[in-house]
Amino acid sequence: MVSIPVVFLVAYLSTQVFGEGRAVIVIDALVRVVLCVAVLALYRHLLRAHWQRFRRRFWLNAGLVVLGAVLMQVVVSLVRAVVPAGGAGGAAGGADDAALIDPVTAQGWDLVVLLVATLGPLAIVLVEEAVFRHTLLVKLPLWGNRLVATAGVLLNGALFGAVHYYNFGSLVGTVPYMVVGVLFNLVYLWRRNLWHVLLMHFLNNFVLSFGALSFVLLMRALGAV
């Protein structure tokens, strides 16, 4: 549970020391990777057990993951159409500072920093899903009362969205991801398998971070940008 506050604390301290720059980007990404490894070690038995169940009907479950990732973007788009935009962004991680570097013109170490920055949104997926979907949802004593359970699912989703505040610069901007948090909660309660929501979240962040950077680099190689 302390992993999420650690991300914010390190981001704050590194910004105070280094300002907004490349060092902060690298530190943020590396901290997320370290936390991912720590969570992987802590939840290894749960993840192993859930993976055994996931792979028994692998193609069905993989299809559900892809469908869920698409549904996630549909939900985000629909909510944004109703809620005033609170800022740009979408990868549920900390790569937004990488916008300080233009991927179209980045060379040398700047390019390395951009590649390192893409690790942050990917590594944080396991941390967020283990904390929000398992520790702060199914492990809480909510399930003896339907009203309390419903409130817990909604509050958990709201907290999940709120931790992405710095991705968007306003609480309003996190509302689509509050709804996504509720969606992930429902999927986890339905399938009772962390790999569904973990891979849905990972696929989304991969496309929006590493996938987007890879596309720009490919266009550069082809001389299209």
Q: For 191-206, write each residue's pLDDT tens digit.
A: 999 999 999 999 999 9
* Model pLDDT, residue 88: 47
Tokens matching residue 167: 């991705």
* Model pLDDT, residue 93: 44
Please identify every stretch of the chain with a pLDDT value under 70, giving residue numbers as ranges. Answer: 1, 85-100, 225
Contact, 165 vs 92, CB < 8 A?
A: no
Tokens matching residue 80: 């944004």
Q: Break the chain into its structural domains and give their ranges.
A: 3-221
CA distance 225 to 218: 9
* Model pLDDT, residue 225: 65
The phi, psi pair for 69, rounded to 5°, reads -65, -40
Dump the DSSP string for 187-209.
Answer: HHHHH--HHHHHHHHHHHHHIII
Residues near 61 by beta carbon (within 8 Å), at least 6 away in sequence: 54, 55, 191, 193, 195, 196
> Taking phi first (over 0 means left), then psi (-120 to 50 degrees means alpha), and beta for anything else, what does residue 91 get?
beta
pTM of the predicted model as reported, rounded to 2 decimal places: 0.88
* Model pLDDT, residue 94: 46
Scored b (16 or more CB within 10 A) or e, 87-110 reads eebbbbbbbbbbeebebeebeeeb
The predicted-structure confidence for 128-167, as pLDDT tens digits, reads as follows 999 999 999 999 999 989 999 999 999 999 999 999 988 8
The phi, psi pair for 75, rounded to 5°, reads -60, -45
* Model pLDDT, residue 213: 86
Q: Is 17 exposed, middle or buried (0-12, 13-18, 19+ CB in 10 A)?
A: exposed
* Model pLDDT, residue 51: 98
In the chain, the largest separation of any two C-alpha atoms, in whole Å, equals 61
Task: Please choose, from the candidates 183, 166, 185, 8, the residue with its C-alpha nearest in 3D space to the C-alpha of residue 92.
Answer: 166
